[in-house]
Structure 1
Amino acid sequence: MCLVCIAFASWVLKTANPQVGDAWKAVLLANVSALSAIRYLRKYVKIEAATSEKKPRDTTPSES
């Protein structure tokens, strides 16, 4: 999903005509998409870190 938002933001900026007075809308849309992707990634990383900390680690030496 994040990659889709970033790709969409990039596409919007590439296809926007800077000569048109409504170009600010395209820039705003691209920025919102990019910020949403960044927020999602940060939340996902925090969740992954929390779940990896909760998993019990077996530190006992194995018997051979």
Structure 2
Amino acid sequence: MLVDPDVLRAFAGQVEEASSAIKTVDVGHTAATAADGLPGSTTQWAVRLVGGRGELTDGRAAERLVASH
């Protein structure tokens, strides 16, 4: 496969920006507390389950995305 290095560098820059934005927003905490207004609901349970996984809360997902490119 042939890859244009300039295009790949530009894409890597965009991924880095997205990674930084994801880390800044703290998606995991936001997701984990999003349904707190619905105490005891299955929505609250599901959101906490997803938000508490660590993939989102500590930015590992964003880091993996950057590392894979």
| Common fold: TM-score over 0.5 | no
Name the TM tier (shorter chain).
Answer: 0.3 to 0.5
TM-score, with structure 1 as normaliser: 0.38
TM-score, with structure 2 as normaliser: 0.36
Larger-Rg structure: 1
